Amino acid sequence: MTDQSQIRIKAFADKIMSAEAAAEFIPAGSNVGMSGFTGSGYPKAVPGAMVARARDARAAGESYAVSVWTGASTAPELDGAMAEVDGVHLRMPYQSDPISRSKINAGLMEYTDIHLSHVAQMVWEGFFGHMDVAVVEVAGITEEGELIPSTSVGNNKTWIDQADKVILEVNSAQPLGLEGMHDIYYGTALPPNRKPLLISKVADRVGVPYLHVAPEKVIAVVETNNPDRNTPFKEPDADSEKIAGHVLEFLTHEVDRGRLPATLLPIQSGVGNIANAVLMGLDKGPFRPLTSYTEVIQDGMLQMLHSGTVSMASATAFSLSEAGLADLIENIDFFRERIILRPQEISNHPEVIRRLGCLAMNGMLEADMYGNVNSTHLMGSSMMNGIGGSGDFARNAYISMFLSPSTAKGGKISCIVPMASHVDHTEHDTHVIVTEQGLADLRGLPPRRRAQQIIDHCAHPDYRPALQDYLDRATATAKGKHTPHILGEALSWHERFLKDGTMQPV
């Protein structure tokens, strides 16, 4: 039973139905816009009913599949379950699900990997085809029929605007205290009618706390009472702490040189344990009060808001552990004054990121000697997750940092390679690379000097001599010595891993 306060508008009462009944409104072949971003605010019930439809179809020798467009990653009961029954024809713009990943890499599921700031406008521009149905989780519906957004905003505003039909999931497990935390900007337009986006400080609000929906588009309201997928919080390991230490030392140095103010600039940090370690390091550090203009609020950010290290944080979604979620719910009034959740086209907007001068810290799979960064593809061909918002921030940041341990798979993979097997961030967009070994400051350096910095400061000692040897031989033999490569050998480390299971010579 949903508490009356979750659905306050009487007009929607006769649209309440089961997830199964709602799923009947979604024909095979539809383009379906779903809510959900880093495991927050995704629909909890309708996807399961679609999975059942797909199973029934299969049992009848037929098929049931749709295209699924979201904010970003969702949860096993959406991405995992739908992929397992081959219920997803095309997925975009981001996923991080193991079953989806295996289907994508088996060539059985189409996946379009897009900058998260580009998705809403490109759908609106009609570049991906028409959206048939939106399935959006909300925390509640007001007396006036306004939608109280859930724990992520993502592309929900655009999905609700663009879809012919809207299915709402009202999740009574989400705190109603979220009401007022969001800032949904309704000023976007297609050119030639676009206007400046008047966010000049992290705390600036330019929208309204609600999602608007035309009541006649709402074809179903489904009541749920399910928590978001939790993201377990791990205490930082030794490598993460070392990476965080190098970042803090660098920021201190920049402040000392007068190249950064003592309150730094708005922090953006990617998702994961390295990012959490950096946040924890900043929390102990001398810089405050900080602000954050980022994509996702993790546990570390809640802690920094509690301690007063961060005064204001803007994002598009939460990604919390069970304890973090409990903290959010318990202290929702405190956090509502210090957190703004925006649509992802705004949280990741190039205009705002450049204006604010974000300090961007994102993870990576590998970087090459020259500073080209691979965020998406293992050994050049296999999709890991996707580019997400890393490019939105890196390209427009004041300082663009990429962080990773120097090795993976117990040392069998070097994350610093002669040539990246896929490039998501070019040499032009990479300012700083950090591993547990150290930090390479690449700003203003030509390629061979970048390579020497990366080899000396970032590569693991087990791989450093081979990298130096490659650089030396390439410099001696390449026809062009601006960015020297030995083309027949440039990708040989990746080939060796595919063949022998290690990049180390065996």
Alpha-carbon span 82 to 47, nearest angstrom: 7
Residues in the chain: 506
CA distance 331 to 333: 6
Cβ distance to a copy of itself smaller for residue 110 or 330: 110
Strand-strand pairing, 359-363 and 267-269? parallel
Among 61, 232, 258, 505, binds a copy of itself (CB under 8 A): 258
Output the smallest distance, CB 287 to a copy of itself, in A: 13
Which range touches a copy of itself (CB under 8 A), out of 21-29, 41-49, 308-316, 350-358? 350-358
Stretch in the footprint of a copy of itself (CB under 8 A) among 6-14, 74-82, 306-314, 376-384: 376-384
Q: Is 343 in the site for a copy of itself (CB under 8 A)?
A: no
**Contacts with a copy of itself in 183-202 (CB under 8 A)?**
190-192, 194-198, 200-201
500 lines the binding site for a copy of itself (CB under 8 A): no
Three-state secondary-structure class, residue 495: helix
For the window 132-171, what string marks contact with a copy of itself as x by the rule CB under 8 A?
----------------------------------------
Q: Does 262 bind a copy of itself (CB under 8 A)?
A: no
342 binds a copy of itself (CB under 8 A): no
Query: In 145-287, where do the E strands start and end?
Result: 147-149, 165-171, 218-224, 267-269
Closer residue to a copy of itself, CB minimum distance, 129 or 180:
129
Task: Give CA–CA dist 22/386, Å, rounded.
Answer: 30
Q: Which residue in this structure is represented by tokens 């962080």?
A: 403
Q: Which of residues 461-490 bind a copy of itself (CB under 8 A)?
A: 474-475, 478-485, 487-488, 490
Is residue 261 part of the contact set for a copy of itself (CB under 8 A)? yes
Query: Which is nearer to a copy of itself, 79 or 429 (by Cβ)?
Result: 429
Using DSSP bridges, classify how beta strands 432-435 and 438-441 pair: parallel, antiparallel or unpaired: antiparallel
- Angstrom distances, CA of residue 227 to CA of 87, 130, 230, 297, 326: 24, 31, 8, 17, 11
Note whether 257 binds a copy of itself by CB under 8 A. Answer: yes
Interaction between residue 311 and a copy of itself (CB under 8 A): no
User: Taking CB under 8 A as the rule, does residue 408 contact a copy of itself?
Assistant: no
SS3 14: helix
Nearer to a copy of itself, 448 or 464 (CB): 448
Question: What residues have CB less than 8 Å from 3, skipping those under 6 apart?
Answer: 172
User: Judging by beta carbons within 10 Å of its beta carbon (0-12, 13-18, 19+), is residue 25 exposed, middle or buried?
Assistant: middle
Q: Does 46 bind a copy of itself (CB under 8 A)?
A: no
| Residues of this chain, 427-466, that bind a copy of itself according to CB under 8 A | 427-429, 431, 443-446, 448-449
- Applying CB under 8 A, does 310 fall inside the site for a copy of itself? no
Q: How far is the CB of 261 from a copy of itself (least distance, A)?
A: 7
Nearest-5° Cα angle at 26, 25 to 30:
145
- In angstroms, give the least distance from the CB of 143 to a copy of itself: 36
- Counting residues that bind a copy of itself (by CB under 8 A) gives 88
Q: Which helix (H) or strand (E) holds 471?
A: helix 464-477
Structure tokens at 361: 């810290």
The answer to whether 426 contacts a copy of itself (rule: CB under 8 A) is: yes
DSSP codes of every residue in 345-370: HHHT-HHHHHHHT-EEEEE-SEEETT
Name the token pair of 378: 């293992």
| Candidate segments 22-30, 73-81, 151-159, 256-264, binder of a copy of itself by CB under 8 A | 256-264
Q: Contact with a copy of itself (CB under 8 A): which of 130, 259, 284, 409?
A: 259
Tell the burial category of 125 from Cβ atoms under 10 Å away from its Cβ (0-12, 13-18, 19+): exposed
User: Of the candidates 284, 308, 498, 500, which one interacts with a copy of itself according to CB under 8 A?
Assistant: 498
216 is catalytic: no
CB-side neighbour CA atoms (13 Å) of 377: 15
Contact positions with a copy of itself (CB under 8 A) in 87-126: 90, 92, 104-107, 110-115, 118, 122, 125-126
Catalytic residue among 137, 146, 169, 295: 295
- Catalytic residues, which ones? 295
